[in-house]
Amino acid sequence: MNTFDSTHSSLDFNESLLESNPFADSVPSGSEPVVNTTEQHQQQQEQQQEESISIKKELKEFSTPQLQKEEEPIPNQPVSLQEEEEQDTQSESLQIPKSGSRPYFEISIEDPQKVGDAINAHIVYKVRTKTNSPAFRSSEFIVARRYRDFLWLYNQLTLGNPGVIVPPVPEKHALGRFQDDFVESRRVALERCLQKIVAHPMLYGDPDLKVFLESESFNIEKRQRRAEPGEKISFMRSFGETISNAATSPFSKFIEVDEWFASKRNQLDALETQLKGLLKSVEGVVKQRKEVGSATAEFGESMFPLASAELNHNLSTHLKVLGEIQKKMKQVHEEQAQYDIITLENTIDEYIRIIGSIRIAFNARVKAYQTYQQADGELQRKMAIFEKIKAQQKNKPEKLASSQQEINEMKQKVEELEQEFHDVSKLIKNELDRFDKEKVEDFRDSVQQFLRSMIEHQKQIVALWETYFEQTAGLDDDDDEEQ
């Protein structure tokens, strides 16, 4: 049995492979391509940057930074020669903008609404998409989606893109899922998930994403997609279904053949432990802020009875003003707690979930290796049968020829599966490089937003205390005059 170097791969990650995107081939005949000029594209980029800066500054809008960043394109799924010759009609009608860059996407999730009866109640979100991609029917559209639809999209992208780290959706919660704070936190997390998906060079053109973003008969179409085994699909999507079906086969235990992957697994385990500890600490800070807000409000309320009983008018006024300020401080503390969740807690929780997606990508590689090993074992069995037939005194030439043909076909299959294993290995390495870069950027942005929100709320507290002195400035003078 051969030992395989997972760094070997036939995947050539260059810009030309971007053309294999199923939504990036050609423009519909008889219509003009939907593209931007260079100047328009630059203006859009400048506008995106201005919007991103504005969002960071206006923390009260509870929004996350835009994820539309210009990056070097990573190739989309490779396709076989036969697939290149037999592109489906949908793929043939689409292309990327002539500027050579990926299509522009702006995704927002708005207006969460509770619908349904007491038993089947759920939250429905409006998903608004703006894009210059010719793959879509218009440049702006809105659809209604619920949580399980986002979960369907994640599962489809994971199945159809083995080795790709698919941005994960937030976890499901049975309790408190209709509370305002939870709904807002989930809305932000779902929006961030979609923004990362459309920013991913191997996911923004996925047909399942297109159905999710623009279909007005989504429930029907998603059932049809599940029930179409004859659908023309990409090489990597077909491979993803193969390894998923192979998961139940009695494979031998996987032994890591690449020290790089073993090291990465250990690093991810350590990172996950650290993030979970950090998440617990941030949750404690959020809880403490809310408790401080409640205690401050109670302290303020206790001032009013005392002020009412006080005979000295000026002292009574001092107590009333102090009580009002303490009540207002409760709102400031609660807002700061909510910003802690949006800026730090959500990012930490997201990366814990991303590590789960990385493990799924690793499992795709393991299954690819096991599928290859199973095929290699079958090849050895066929070769042993051939030798037995050959050793027989009365062997039939046609039987030998048939056995030899089976061996040749099996050898070809083994070579293809070996190459698939190398391809997935190389893809995962590229994905982990991308993960490391995004992790640095996301945590840097989150910490900066956290510090800005801290500064802003501390300024509000200082301003409240200043109002105390402004409202009580003349009272001491009145006391002196009376004396």
**Residue-by-residue pLDDT tens, the chain, 483 positions:** 443 343 333 333 333 333 333 333 333 333 333 334 444 445 545 554 554 444 344 434 433 333 333 333 333 333 333 334 333 333 333 344 444 577 889 999 998 998 887 778 889 999 999 999 888 988 999 999 999 999 999 999 999 999 999 999 998 876 767 888 888 889 999 999 999 999 999 999 899 999 999 998 888 888 877 544 444 444 344 444 444 444 444 445 677 878 999 999 999 999 999 999 999 999 999 999 999 999 999 999 998 998 888 888 888 888 999 999 999 999 999 999 988 888 888 899 999 999 999 999 999 999 999 999 999 999 999 899 888 888 776 767 888 888 889 999 999 999 999 999 999 999 999 999 999 999 999 999 999 999 999 999 999 999 999 998 888 887 765 555 554
> Which pLDDT score, from 0 to 100, does residue 456 have?
93
Q: Is residue 66 part of a domain?
A: no
Where does a domain end: 156, 184, 215?
215
Q: Is residue 162 part of a domain?
A: yes
Where does a domain end: 149, 181, 215?
215
Residues 210 and 286 in one domain: no
Sign of CA dihedral 75, 79, 80, 84: negative
Q: Is residue 461 part of a domain?
A: yes
Residues 272 and 373 in one domain: yes
Q: Cβ(323)–Cβ(300) under 8 Å?
A: yes
Q: What is the pTM of this model?
A: 0.70
Residues 174 and 286 in one domain: no
Q: Is residue 31 part of a domain?
A: no
Tell me the CATH number at 154. 3.30.1520.10
Distance CA 96, CA 75 (A): 13
Residues 314 and 412 in one domain: yes
- Domain count within the chain: 2
CA distances from 470 to 211, 322, 323, 477 (A): 59, 12, 15, 13
Retrieve residue 107's tokens. Answer: 């995704």
Question: DSSP of 179-238, one letter per residue?
Answer: SHHHHHHHHHHHHHHHHHHHHSTTTTT-HHHHHHHH-SSHHHHHHHHHT-TTS---HHHH
Residues 337 and 405 in one domain: yes
Q: Is residue 54 part of a domain?
A: no
> Which pLDDT score, from 0 to 100, does residue 354 have?
96
CA 93 to chain centre: 28
The residue among 71, 68, 73 whose CA lies nearest residue 46 is 68
Q: Is residue 32 part of a domain?
A: no
> Which pLDDT score, from 0 to 100, does residue 425 have?
94
> Which pLDDT score, from 0 to 100, does residue 226 have?
59
Q: Is residue 55 part of a domain?
A: no
Q: Collapsing DSSP states into helix, strand and coil, what is residue 107?
A: strand
Residues 346 and 453 in one domain: yes
Q: Is residue 393 part of a domain?
A: yes
Residues 159 and 280 in one domain: no
Tell me the CATH number at 298. 1.20.1270.60
**DSSP character at residue 111:** E
| Side chain identity, residue 209 | L
Q: Collapsing DSSP states into helix, strand and coil, what is residue 112?
A: strand
Produce one character per residue of 301-314: b if its CB has 16 or more CB atoms within 10 Å, e if not. eebbeebeeeeeeb
Q: What domain range includes position 323? A: 259-474
Distance CA 29, CA 297 (A): 67
Distance CA 341, CA 65 (A): 15
The residue among 239, 206, 203 whose CA lies nearest residue 80 is 239
Residues 210 and 291 in one domain: no
Q: Cβ(378)–Cβ(370) under 8 Å?
A: no
| Side chain identity, residue 116 | G
Residues 150 and 266 in one domain: no
Residues 209 and 298 in one domain: no
CA 269 to chain centre: 20
Residues 208 and 268 in one domain: no
